[in-house]
Amino acid sequence: MAMEILYFAWVRQKVGQGAETLEPPAEVADVAGLMRWLAARSPGHAAAFAQPGQIRAAVNQEFCPPDHPVRPGDEVAFFPP
- pLDDT, tens digit, 9 for 90 and up, residues 41-68: 999 999 999 999 999 999 999 999 999 9
Mean pLDDT across 5-33? 97
Q: Which of helix, strand or coil describes residue 4? A: strand
Is the distance from CB of 77 to CB of 11 less than 8 angstroms?
no
Residue 81 has pLDDT above 90, yes or no: no
pLDDT of residue 23: 96
Name the burial class of residue 70, with classes exposed (0-12), middle (13-18) and buried (19+) by CB atoms within 10 angstroms of its CB. Answer: buried
Distance of CA 78 to the CA centre of its chain: 5
Residue 73 has pLDDT above 90, yes or no: yes
pLDDT of residue 65: 97
Residue 17 has pLDDT above 90, yes or no: yes
